[in-house]
C-alpha cells in the first residue's frame, strides 16, 4: 500500500471536463455537424474559453424557470479530466484492504469470499435498465428473482416468507420490531412496549428498539456466556412484546436452552426475534424457524456472500412465521423494492451452493473457528473454552509484557500489529463483557494455509508483546499512515473540504 | 467430499483440523445443539449449479423482463451513467472492504466518503453531511426524527403531502411507532404551532412543479421548529439550494447522480445539516486528522453519536451506510463537474418542455398546472382513457404516463433523444379521441 | 487514586455539587474524567431548562464512549459553562474547576441525600 495524499478537489482545474453528453437533446442536430455554426458550437464547447452552446442552452432553463427559483451560489464541483479521475480513485483504492487482499477475520461480520459470478449477474443489462415502477408484466423476470430468493431463504431458515425492503441488518431489525408491534397492535394489546435483549447484544438492538418506540430490558448472561433462564423468568409479563436474540450469541456460543426460552416467551404472549448476523454457522445445519423464532432478519452481505462495499450497500431481508405473516407487508422501510442488485448477488450465490454445498457452509466455518481457537489459546486468554460456532472471543494476551516502566500491550495494539503483517484485525472491544475482547471469525472460505499463517503471526505478535510491548504500541509501521489522532478529530471536527 | 470452489478444505485439511480441535467429525461441533433442532432433511433448494448454468438461469429470467424507454421519474431517474464508474466501484479493494474501522488500511474508503460529504455540502449549501443513508425516503424519516432530537421537548412534525408517495409511505412507517405526532398538510404553514419540532417540504413537488419556498423557513423558525427540504441533488446544479431557502436539513436520494435504475436499488440517501445540528446527525461521519508523523488522514469520527455507543439514546439505529453507492456518486460528480451537471439539467429540461408542448399539441391532453414551472418531470390531464394510453405506449416500448393523483406523469432525462420523443408522440397521435 | 475535594457533595453517578446559596454548581469528579478518557464533547441543556434529581441532563462524549450526566438536584438551569463548547478538555484538566451547569434548586432537602467526600471515596475506587 502506498500513501497517496490527494483529494479530488485538489486535482481540479477550471475548464477540465470528464463527461460526455450530447450537445443538445436534438439528435438530428448531429447530422448537421458539417455546418460551420454547428462545428463552431461543438468546438467551442470543448475549449477552455467556452461559452457557446452552454449559454444558449442556459437560456432553456432560464426561460422555463423564474429567476428566484434558481441557484444563486456557484456550484463548486471538481473539474477533472477522465484520466485524472481514474488515477485518483485507483490510487485511493490502493490504500484499501478488502477480502480480495487478504484474510479478514472480523467477528460478527462474516467476511467470506465474494464470488465474482455474483458481480456479473448483478450488472446484467436485462435487469439494470428496469424502472421500479414498471408494470408487473414487464418485470416478470425481476419478480421471479425476488420470489426465488424468498423461497430459497424460507427453505434455509424455516420461515414462511420474507420482505426485502430493508437495506441493511439494522434496517432489518427495525422492520422486524415494527412487525412485532403490528402483531400486538392487531390483537389490541397496547401494553406490550418492552423487548428483552441479552446483555451481550450488539448496540443496534437497543437503538432499533428505541426507534420503534419500545423499551429495552436486559437479561443477564450466566457464567457460561449464555442467557440465564432463571434471570429471564421474572422479566416475562404482559408488558413484554418479545425477546431479541442472536443464536449463536455474540460470543459465538449456541444458546442451547433456546427451546425452553421460546416456550417461556410464547407462553407470556411475546414473540421471538432472531438477529441473523450470526446465521453463518447455522447455514445448512439449523433453521431459526425450527427453534421457535417468529421473526428474523438476515444479512445478505454477511451470510450470503454479497460484498460489503466499504460499508454498504447491503440487504437485510426480514422473514416471518405463520403468526406474523399477515403483517409482513405493512412496514415500508425503503422507497422501492429493496436493494435489488444485492438480491441478485445473493440468489446467484445460493444457486452456486445448491442444496448439497449449503450443508457444509456452516460446519466448515465452525471447524475453522475452533481450529484457530485451539491453536492460539496458549497465547491468548480464552474466557469460554467450550466448543464455539463460527466465531469466538479472546480476552487479550496472556502475557501482555507489562513491566516496570512499560504498560502492557492491549487488544488495540495487537490489532494494529496484525496490520503490519498483512492481515485485517479481528473485531475488537466487542462484546463489552470482556474488556480486551478480540472476536475472531474466519468463515468457511479460507484455506488451511491461510489459517495457519494467521495463527503463526498471532503467535509471533504474542511473543513480541512478551519481549517488548513497545513494538505493538507503535504499530502499525508498514501501512500508509500510522495511528491517527482520533481525539483531535472529534474535538475539532473537519468534516468536508 | 466433492470439491467446491468456495470451500478450500480438502478431506486431509479437515482431518488435520478435526484432530487439533479434538472432535471426531463435523457433526460433533454441534453436539451442544439439541438434536431436535439439527436439520436432517434435504434443503428445498435446487441442486448446485456451475457458473455457466447460473449464467443461463439468469439469462432466462432476464429475457422475461422488458427494458423500456423510460419516461417516468417519481424518485428513480434514467440519467446517463459514465462508463468509468463501474470500473472504479468494482475494484476489489473498494468492493470487498468492510466499514473503515481500521483506518490505517482503509484510507481509500475514508477519503472518498470525505469527498462525498464535501460534495453533498456543496450541492445543498449545508455545513455538514454524513456518510450516506439507505435511500432518500428513509433519510427523510431520519431527518424528522432528528428534528425531534434537536428540539428536546417537542414531538410533533409536519409533513407536506406534496412529497412523492414513496417518501410519504416510508415517513409514515418510521413515525408510526415512536411517540411522535405526525400532521400531514398540503400547505405546511397552516399546521405550524409551538409544539412542532420539524417540517419537511419537497423542493420539487410530486407533480414535478418547482416549489417557491419563500417565507417558509422564516415562518418555521419563528415557530421554533427546523425546516427539512427533500430535494433532487441533480437539480441542485440549477435550482435554489436548501441553504438558500433557509432550510436546516437537506435530504434526498443520490440515485439521480448516475446510479442505474436496477429495479429500485441499491440507491443512496443523503442527509446534511447546518453546523449547529451536527451532533444530532445520525449515521457515520468521516473527519480529517493527522497521524503521529503529521500525515493527513481520515477517520470515522463523532462516533459517540452512534448506536454502538449511545445504544438506546442514539438519534438512530443506523449502522451501515451505502458506501459503494456513495463512491459511485462521488466519481460521477468528479467526472461531471459543475458544467456537466448543469448540462444534464439543461438537456433534461429542454427535452421535457419539448415533450410537454408536443403532447398538448396532440389534443389528447390538457394542462394540469398551467404556468407552474417544471424542470424534467411534469403532469398532464389525459383526455383519453389512461389504460389505453399506457398500453399503447408500452406496446411501442415506452414506459410513460404513470397515473398519479388523477393525472399522468412524464419525465425526460438527457438520455431521451428527440427521435424517441417524436416516436412517443406519434403513438399518442394514433389514439382515438 | 483519584482526587476528591472535601467541601463538595457527590452523587453515586460521579457528579459533584458545590452549594452557593440556593444555587447548585455541578460538575463531574476526577474519577469520572479518568474513566472517560479524553473528552471530546459535552452535551448540555439550555438555560431555562428544568432538571430533575437522577434524570439525565446531558452527556460526556469521548472518542469511543458516551456517558450520561445525571442531575444530583432538581430545579432550573440558570447557567451553562460556555467554555466547554470549544474546550471540553477542561474537564479532564481541572474537573473540579470546570463546572458544567448551575441549577437554582427547587428542593434543597435533596442535598441531604447526596454523599459527602468520605462516603464518595468508598465508591470512587
Task: Tell me the DSSP string of B170-239.
Answer: HHHHHHHSSS-EEEEESSGGGG--TTEEEEEEESB-TTSBBP--TTHHHHHHHTT-EEEEEE-TTGGGTB
Residue in chain C closest to B279 (alpha carbons) equals C43
Q: Is residue A352 within 8 angstroms of chain B, CB to CB? A: yes
Q: What's A406's DSSP letter? A: B
Residue C5's SS3 state is coil
pLDDT tens per residue across span A427-474: 999 888 899 999 999 999 999 999 999 999 999 999 999 999 999 999
Which helix (H) or strand (E) element contains residue C26? strand C23-28
Residue B336's SS3 state is helix
Q: Does A263 share its domain with A343?
A: yes
pLDDT the model gives residue C5: 87
Residue in chain B closest to A96 (alpha carbons) equals B106
pLDDT tens per residue across span A258-300: 999 999 999 999 999 999 999 999 999 999 999 999 999 999 9
Q: Is residue A491 within 8 angstroms of chain C, CB to CB? A: yes
Shortest Cα distance, chain A CAs vs residue C104, angstroms? 30
Is C49 in Cβ contact with B304 (below 8 Å)? no
CB pairs under 8 A between A and C: 16
Q: Does A345 share its domain with A376?
A: no
The percentage of residues in chain B with a pLDDT greater than 70, rounded to a whole number, is 96
pLDDT at residue B316 greater than cutoff 80: no
Is B293 in Cβ contact with A367 (below 8 Å)? no
Residue of B15, B23, B34, B37 to mutate for A, most A C-beta atoms under 10 A: B37
Q: Does A245 share its domain with A121?
A: yes
Q: Does A179 share its domain with A315?
A: yes
State the angle between helix axes of A204-211 and A169-186 in degrees (0 to 180), rounded to the nearest 10: 40
Is B336 in Cβ contact with A18 (below 8 Å)? yes
Is B134 in Cβ contact with A167 (below 8 Å)? yes
pLDDT tens per residue across span A293-341: 999 999 999 999 999 999 999 999 999 999 999 999 999 999 999 999 9
In the complex, which subunits touch A with 3 or more CB pairs below 8 angstroms? B, C
Residue A100 inside a domain? The answer is: no
pLDDT the model gives residue A52: 36
Closest listed residue to residue C32, CA positions, set C101, C80, C98: C98
Is C68 in Cβ contact with B304 (below 8 Å)? no
Is C43 in Cβ contact with B303 (below 8 Å)? no
Strand ranges in A146-238 using DSSP code E only, listed in sequence order: 161-163, 194-198, 215-219
Report the CATH number that the domain containing residue A208 is assigned in CATH. Answer: 3.40.640.10
Residues 50-89 of A with CB under 8 A from B: 54, 57-58, 60-61, 64-66, 68-80, 82, 85-86, 88-89
pLDDT tens per residue across span A139-186: 999 999 999 999 999 999 999 999 999 999 999 999 999 999 999 999
Bridge-based pairing of strands B377-382 and B407-411 is antiparallel
Report the CATH fold assignment for B84-329: 3.40.640
Strand ranges in A277-360 using DSSP code E only, listed in sequence order: 295-298, 318-320
C-alpha cell at B196: 412542532
Q: Model confidence at B321, in pLDDT bands (50, 70, 90)?
A: confident
Strand ranges in A386-431 using DSSP code E only, listed in sequence order: 392-395, 427-428
Q: Are B130 and B168 in contact (CB under 8 A)?
A: no
Q: Model confidence at A58, in pLDDT bands (50, 70, 90)?
A: very low
- Looking at every residue in chain A, the average pLDDT score rounds to 91
pLDDT tens per residue across span B214-240: 999 999 999 999 999 999 999 999 999
Is B37 in Cβ contact with A366 (below 8 Å)? no
C-alpha cell at B342: 448543469
CA distance A276 to B182: 32
Residue of B20, B65, B252, B269 to mutate for A, most A C-beta atoms under 10 A: B65
Q: Does A52 share its domain with A137?
A: no
Closest listed residue to residue B388, CA positions, set B427, B425, B422: B427
Nearest by CB to B290, from A139, A202, A484: name it. Answer: A484
Is A355 in Cβ contact with B68 (below 8 Å)? no
Bond before A69 cis per omega within 30 degrees:
no
Beta bridge partners of C20: C23
Find chain A residues with C-beta within 8 A of C64's C-beta: 429
How much is the average pLDDT of B318-346? Answer: 93
Q: Is residue A140 within 8 angstroms of chain C, CB to CB? A: no
pLDDT the model gives residue C35: 86
Q: Model confidence at C123, in pLDDT bands (50, 70, 90)?
A: confident
Find chain C residues with C-beta within 8 A of B309's C-beta: 64-66
For chain B, domain boundaries: 11-52, 69-78+336-429, 84-329
Nearest by CB to B97, from A97, A117, A496: name it. Answer: A97
pLDDT the model gives residue A48: 29
Looking at A234-278, list the stretches that DSSP marks H as alpha helix, in order from N- to C-terminal side.
Answer: 258-267
CA distance A214 to C22: 39
Is B152 in Cβ contact with C41 (below 8 Å)? no
- Class of the B69-78+336-429 domain? alpha beta
Q: How many domains does chain A have?
A: 3
Least confident of A33-47, A113-127, B57-71, B407-421: A33-47
Find chain A residues with C-beta within 8 A of B337's C-beta: 12, 16-19, 77-80
Residue A21 inside a domain? The answer is: no
Nearest by CB to C65, from B152, B304, B313: name it. Answer: B304
Is B291 in Cβ contact with A481 (below 8 Å)? yes
Q: Does A336 share its domain with A447?
A: no
Closest listed residue to residue A392, CA positions, set B112, B311, B29: B29
Q: pLDDT: is C66 or A495 the higher one? A: A495
Least confident of A478-487, B8-17, C37-46: C37-46
Q: Is residue A180 within 8 angstroms of chain B, CB to CB? A: no
Residue A2 inside a domain? The answer is: no
pLDDT the model gives residue A34: 37
How much is the average pLDDT of B197-226? Answer: 98
The percentage of residues in chain A with a pLDDT greater than 90, rounded to a whole number, is 85
Find chain B residues with C-beta within 8 A of A168's C-beta: 134, 318-320
Is B65 in Cβ contact with A130 (below 8 Å)? yes
Q: Does A327 share its domain with A231?
A: yes
Q: Does A311 share its domain with A383?
A: no
Question: Which residues have a Cβ under 8 Å from the Cβ of A405 and sit 6 or more positions away?
Answer: none
Domain stops at, among A319, A354, A389: A354
- Looking at every residue in chain B, the average pLDDT score rounds to 95
Bridge-based pairing of strands B181-185 and B156-160 is parallel
pLDDT at residue A45 greater than cutoff 60: no
Residues 156-185 of B with CB under 8 A from A: 166-167, 169-170, 172-174, 176-179
pLDDT the model gives residue A99: 97
Residue A22 inside a domain? The answer is: no
pLDDT the model gives residue A485: 95
- Cα separations (Å) of A69 from A251, A413, B228, B352, B374? 56, 55, 17, 18, 11
Find chain C residues with C-beta within 8 A of B305's C-beta: 61
Residue in chain B closest to C43 (alpha carbons) equals B279
Domain stops at, among A294, A329, A354: A354
Residue A421 inside a domain? The answer is: yes
Q: Are B152 and B194 in contact (CB under 8 A)?
A: no
CA distance C102 to C16: 12
pLDDT at residue A15 greater than cutoff 90: yes
pLDDT the model gives residue B210: 98
How much is the average pLDDT of B130-136? Answer: 97
Q: Model confidence at A55, in pLDDT bands (50, 70, 90)?
A: very low
Q: Are C91 and A491 in contact (CB under 8 A)?
A: no
Residue B425's SS3 state is helix
pLDDT at residue B42 greater than cutoff 50: yes
Q: Does A422 share its domain with A310?
A: no
How much is the average pLDDT of A353-358? Answer: 96
Nearest by CB to C64, from B152, B309, B313: name it. Answer: B309
Residues 415-434 of A with CB under 8 A from C: 429
Residue in chain A closest to C88 (alpha carbons) equals A491
pLDDT at residue B162 greater than cutoff 50: yes
Find chain B residues with C-beta within 8 A of C63's C-beta: 303-304
C-alpha cell at B336: 461531471
Is A429 in Cβ contact with C63 (below 8 Å)? no
CA distance C86 to C42: 10
Q: Are C99 and C25 in contact (CB under 8 A)?
A: yes
Residue A163 inside a domain? The answer is: yes
Domain span holding position A304: 116-354
Q: Model confidence at A255, in pLDDT bands (50, 70, 90)?
A: very high
C-alpha cell at A51: 461559452
In the complex, which subunits touch B with 3 or more CB pairs below 8 angstroms? A, C
Question: Which residues have a Cβ under 8 Å from the Cβ of C56 and sit 6 or more positions away?
Answer: C68, C69, C70, C71
Shortest Cα distance, chain A CAs vs residue C40, angstroms? 5
Find chain C residues with C-beta within 8 A of A490's C-beta: 40-41, 61-63
CA distance B95 to A311: 9
Residue of A131, A302, A350, A455 to mutate for B, most B C-beta atoms under 10 A: A131
CA distance A409 to A403: 11
Q: Does A304 share its domain with A410?
A: no
Domains in chain C: ranges and CATH = 9-108 (2.40.50.100)
CA distance B429 to C5: 89
How much is the average pLDDT of A124-144? Answer: 97
Amino acid at each position: 500500500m502506498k500513501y497517496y495524499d490527494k483529494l479530488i478537489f485538489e486535482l481540479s482545474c477550471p475548464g477540465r471536463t470528464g463527461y460526455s453528453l450530447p450537445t443538445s437533446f436534438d439528435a438530428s442536430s448531429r447530422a448537421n455537424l458539417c455546418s460551420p455554426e454547428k462545428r463552431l458550437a461543438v468546438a467551442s464547447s470543448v475549449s477552455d474559453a467556452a461559452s457557446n452552446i452552454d449559454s444558449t442552452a442556459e437560456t432553456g432553463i432560464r426561460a422555463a424557470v423564474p429567476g428566484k427559483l434558481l441557484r444563486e451560489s456557484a456550484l463548486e464541483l471538481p473539474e477533472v479530466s477522465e484520466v485524472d479521475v481514474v488515477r485518483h480513485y485507483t490510487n485511493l483504492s490502493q490504500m484499501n484492504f478488502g477480502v480480495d487482499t487478504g484474510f479478514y477475520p472480523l467477528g460478527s461480520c462474516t467476511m467470506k469470499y465474494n464470488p465474482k459470478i455474483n458481480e456479473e449477474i448483478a450488472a446484467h443489462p436485462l435487469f439494470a435498465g428496469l424502472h421500479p415502477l414498471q408494470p408487473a408484466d414487464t418485470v416478470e423476470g425481476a419478480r421471479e428473482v425476488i420470489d426465488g430468493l424468498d423461497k430459497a431463504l424460507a427453505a434455509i431458515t424455516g420461515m414462511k416468507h420474507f420482505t426485502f425492503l430493508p437495506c441493511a441488518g439494522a434496517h432489518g431489525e427495525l422492520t422486524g420490531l415494527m412487525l412485532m408491534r403490528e402483531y400486538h397492535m392487531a390483537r389490541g394489546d397496547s401494553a406490550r412496549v418492552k423487548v428483552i435483549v441479552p446483555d451481550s447484544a450488539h448496540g443496534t438492538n437497543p437503538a432499533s428498539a428505541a426507534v420503534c418506540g419500545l423499551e429495552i430490558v436486559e437479561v443477564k448472561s450466566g457464567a457460561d456466556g449464555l442467557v440465564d433462564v432463571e434471570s429471564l423468568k421474572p422479566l416475562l409479563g404482559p408488558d413484554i412484546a418479545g425477546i431479541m436474540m442472536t443464536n449463536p450469541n455474540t460470543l459465538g456460543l449456541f444458546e442451547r436452552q433456546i427451546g425452553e426460552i421460546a416456550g417461556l416467551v410464547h407462553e407470556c404472549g411475546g414473540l421471538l426475534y432472531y438477529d441473523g448476523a450470526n446465521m453463518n454457522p447455522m447455514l445448512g445445519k439449523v433453521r431459526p424457524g425450527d427453534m421457535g423464532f417468529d421473526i428474523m432478519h438476515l444479512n445478505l452481505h454477511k451470510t450470503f456472500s454479497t460484498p460489503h462495499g466499504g460499508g454498504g450497500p447491503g440487504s437485510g431481508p426480514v422473514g416471518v412465521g405463520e403468526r406474523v405473516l399477515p403483517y409482513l407487508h405493512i412496514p415500508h422501510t425503503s422507497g422501492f423494492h429493496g436493494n435489488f442488485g444485492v438480491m441478485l448477488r445473493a440468489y446467484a450465490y445460493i444457486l452456486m451452493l445448491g442444496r448439497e454445498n449449503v450443508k457444509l457452509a456452516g460446519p466448515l466455518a465452525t471447524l475453522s473457528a475452533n481450529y484457530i481457537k485451539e491453536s492460539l489459546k496458549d497465547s491468548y486468554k480464552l474466557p469460554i473454552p467450550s466448543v464455539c460456532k463460527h466465531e469466538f472471543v479472546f480476552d487479550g494476551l496472556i502475557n501482555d509484557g507489562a513491566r516496570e516502566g512499560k504498560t502492557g500491550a492491549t487488544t488495540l495494539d495487537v490489532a494494529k500489529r496484525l496490520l503490519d503483517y498483512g492481515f485485517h484485525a479481528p473485531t475488537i472491544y466487542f462484546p463489552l463483557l470482556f474488556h480486551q475482547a478480540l472476536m475472531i471469525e474466519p468463515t468457511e472460505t479460507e484455506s488451511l494455509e491461510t489459517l495457519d499463517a494467521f495463527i503463526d503471526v498471532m503467535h509471533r505478535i504474542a511473543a513480541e508483546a512478551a519481549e517488548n510491548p513497545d513494538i505493538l504500541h507503535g504499530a502499525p509501521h508498514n501501512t500508509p499512515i500510522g495511528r491517527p489522532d482520533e481525539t483531535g478529530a472529534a474535538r475539532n471536527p473537519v468534516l468536508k473540504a | 467430499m466433492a470439491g467446491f470452489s468456495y470451500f478450500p478444505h480438502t478431506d486431509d485439511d479437515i482431518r488435520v483440523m478435526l484432530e487439533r480441535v479434538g472432535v471426531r467429525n463435523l457433526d460433533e461441533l454441534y453436539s451442544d445443539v439439541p438434536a431436535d433442532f439439527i436439520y436432517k432433511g434435504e434443503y428445498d433448494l435446487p441442486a448446485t449449479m456451475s457458473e455457466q448454468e447460473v449464467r443461463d438461469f439468469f439469462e432466462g429470467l432476464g429475457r422475461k423482463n422488458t427494458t423500456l424507454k423510460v419516461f417516468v421519474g417519481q424518485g428513480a431517474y434514467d440519467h446517463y451513467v459514465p462508463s468509468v464508474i463501474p470500473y472504479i466501484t468494482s475494484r476489489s479493494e473498494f468492493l470487498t472492504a468492510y466499514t473503515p474501522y481500521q483506518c490505517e488500511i482503509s484510507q481509500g474508503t475514508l477519503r472518498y466518503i470525505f469527498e462525498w460529504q464535501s460534495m453533498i455540502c456543496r450541492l445543498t449549501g449545508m455545513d455538514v453531511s454524513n456518510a450516506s443513508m439507505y435511500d432518500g425516503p428513509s433519510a427523510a424519516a431520519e431527518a424528522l426524527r432528528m428534528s425531534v432530537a434537536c428540539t428536546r421537548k417537542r414531538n410533533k412534525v409536519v409533513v407536506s403531502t406534496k412529497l412523492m408517495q414513496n417518501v410519504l409511505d416510508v415517513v409514515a412507517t418510521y413515525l408510526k411507532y415512536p411517540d411522535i405526532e405526525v400532521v400531514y398538510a398540503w400547505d405546511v404553514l397552516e399546521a405550524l404551532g409551538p409544539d412542532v419540532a420539524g417540517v419537511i417540504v419537497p423542493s420539487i413537488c410530486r407533480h414535478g412543479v418547482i416549489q417557491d419556498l419563500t417565507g417558509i423557513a422564516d415562518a418555521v423558525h419563528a415557530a421554533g421548529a427546523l425546516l427539512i427540504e427533500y430535494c433532487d441533488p441533480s437539480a441542485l446544479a440549477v435550482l435554489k439550494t436548501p441553504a438558500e431557502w433557509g432550510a436546516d436539513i437537506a435530504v434526498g436520494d443520490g440515485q439521480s447522480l448516475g446510479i442505474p435504475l436496477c429495479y429500485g436499488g441499491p440507491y443512496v440517501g443523503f442527509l446534511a445539516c447546518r453546523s449547529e445540528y451536527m451532533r444530532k446527525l445520525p449515521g457515520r461521519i468521516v473527519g480529517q486528522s493527522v497521524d503521529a508523523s503529521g500525515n493527513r488522514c481520515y477517520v470515522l469520527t463523532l462516533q459517540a453519536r452512534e448506536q454502538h455507543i449511545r445504544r438506546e439514546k442514539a438519534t438512530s439505529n443506523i449502522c451501515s451506510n451505502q458506501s459503494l453507492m456513495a463512491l459511485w456518486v462521488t466519481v460521477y460528480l468528479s467526472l461531471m463537474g459543475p458544467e456537466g451537471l448543469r448540462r444534464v439539467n439543461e438537456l433534461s429540461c429542454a427535452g421535457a418542455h419539448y415533450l410537454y408542448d408536443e403532447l398538448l399539441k396532440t389534443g389528447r391532453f390538457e394542462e394540469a398546472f398551467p404556468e407552474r414551472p417544471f424542470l424534467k418531470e411534469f403532469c398532464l390531464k389525459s383526455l383519453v382513457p389512461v389504460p389505453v394510453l399506457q398500453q399503447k405506449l408500452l406496446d411501442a416500448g415506452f414506459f410513460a404516463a404513470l397515473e398519479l393523483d388523477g393525472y399522468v406523469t412524464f419525465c425526460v432525462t438527457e438520455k431521451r433523444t428527440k427521435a424517441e420523443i417524436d416516436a412517443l408522440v406519434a403513438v399518442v397521435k394514433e389514439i382515438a379521441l | 487514586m483519584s482526587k476528591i475535594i472535601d467541601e463538595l457533595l457527590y452523587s453515586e453517578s460521579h457528579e459533584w455539587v458545590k452549594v452557593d446559596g440556593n444555587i447548585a454548581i455541578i460538575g463531574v469528579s476526577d474519577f469520572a474524567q479518568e474513566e472517560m478518557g479524553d473528552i471530546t464533547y459535552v452535551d448540555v441543556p439550555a438555560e431555562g431548562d428544568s432538571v430533575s434529581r437522577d434524570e439525565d441532563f446531558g452527556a460526556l462524549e469521548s472518542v469511543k464512549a458516551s456517558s450520561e450526566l445525571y442531575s444530583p438536584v432538581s430545579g432550573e438551569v440558570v447557567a451553562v459553562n460556555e467554555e466547554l463548547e470549544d474546550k471540553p478538555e477542561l474537564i479532564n484538566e481541572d474537573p473540579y474547576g470546570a463546572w458544567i451547569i448551575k441549577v437554582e434548586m427547587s428542593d434543597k432537602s435533596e442535598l441531604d441525600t447526596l454523599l459527602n467526600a468520605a462516603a464518595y471515596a468508598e465508591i470512587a475506587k
